[in-house]
Amino acid sequence: MNLRNGATGNKSKMGEIIVVTSGKGGVGKTTTTASLGAALALKGKRTLVVDADIGLRNLDVILGLENRIVFNLVDVAKKVCKPNQATIRSKKSNNLYLLPASQTDEKDVVSEEEVKKALAQYQREFHYILVDSPAGIEQGFRNACASATRALVVTTPEVSAIRDADRVIGLLTARGIEPSCIVNRIDREMVKRGDMLSIEDVQDILGIDIIGVVERDDNVVVAANCGEPVVFNTKSRAGNAFSNIAARICGESIPIESLAPVGLLGRLGRRLGMQA
């Protein structure tokens, strides 16, 4: 399928490499990468999600593809196999492919240059390449950023995560990569009670564009264990949030979801056509 000469005459931009990173571990990078990849695929964009967490791979599990892995990113980087031998097509969407990480190697087994050359081979075939970065700011992070032009910095509304995100943003900016922020696992009730930082607080400290807000949602846990990205569950709030982020990545302008708590009166008010 030659996507370069689109029938509509619209030459869509190919091969945009976006790194999903955070600094802090466990804030939702892999979930975000998988969900955004799936959401972009559902919009018809050929998407490759790359697991750059060498030695601690997770993206394959989240996508339910762990028993289909033959070759991985390290093999491609070391030219042990051909690029298309290593990518695995998703069960749920024809547009979504996975390039898994190696589980038996360590992060310094490949260099930035090797990763750059490896990913360059995929740029002509995919609209978007999402790279799932490992936690930290060392070689693994640097490899993941190797050819990225854009970054999605995932953070939760917690002081420790924000501080790490701030550090990472500084490092990304120094590399000339443009960062946007995704606030993950926000709990509207806690924000309302003043027990949790609000989106405005996060924006105040980090000072970069917020491209999406994802609320805490049990469906995410269920989806991860089932190996199905949460965006396929249309009833999930988190899933919808990720879909919106994917739309924003494609250039659509969708306002950020507000966290105005919907109480009983609010719901009634909406029903009666009044503002909540």
Q: Where along the sequence are the contacts to other proteins (CB under 8 A)?
A: 159, 163-164, 166-167, 169-171, 173, 205, 207
The residue among 85 and 173 lying less far from other proteins, judged by its C-beta, is 173
The residue among 1 and 174 lying less far from other proteins, judged by its C-beta, is 174
* Shortest Å distance, C-beta 23 to other proteins: 9
* Shortest Å distance, C-beta 188 to other proteins: 24
* Shortest Å distance, C-beta 198 to other proteins: 16
The residue among 16 and 166 lying less far from other proteins, judged by its C-beta, is 166
The residue among 153 and 213 lying less far from other proteins, judged by its C-beta, is 153
* Shortest Å distance, C-beta 164 to other proteins: 7
The residue among 7 and 174 lying less far from other proteins, judged by its C-beta, is 174
The residue among 153 and 238 lying less far from other proteins, judged by its C-beta, is 153
* Shortest Å distance, C-beta 184 to other proteins: 19
According to the 3-state scheme, what is the secondary structure of the chain?
Answer: CCCCCCCCCCCCCCCEEEEEECCCCCCCHHHHHHHHHHHHHHCCCCEEEEECCCCCCCHHHHCCCHHHCCCCHHHHHCCCCCHHHHCEECCCCCCEEEECCCCCCCHHHCCHHHHHHHHHCCCCCCCEEEEECCCCCCHHHHHHCCCCCEEEEEECCCHHHHHHHHHHHHHHHHCCCEEEEEEEEECHHHHHHCCCCCHHHHHHHHCCCEEEEEECCHHHHHHHHHCCCHHHCCCCHHHHHHHHHHHHHCCCCCCCCCCCCCCHHHHHHHHCCCCC
* Shortest Å distance, C-beta 24 to other proteins: 11
- How far apart CA 181 and CA 89 sit, in angstroms, is 28
The residue among 176 and 251 lying less far from other proteins, judged by its C-beta, is 176
Q: What are the backbone dihedrals phi and psi of residue 168, each rounded to the nearest 5 degrees, phi first?
A: -65, -40
* Shortest Å distance, C-beta 201 to other proteins: 12
Report how far apart, in Å, the C-alpha atoms of 178 and of each of 81, 112, 228, 249 are.
Answer: 32, 18, 30, 13
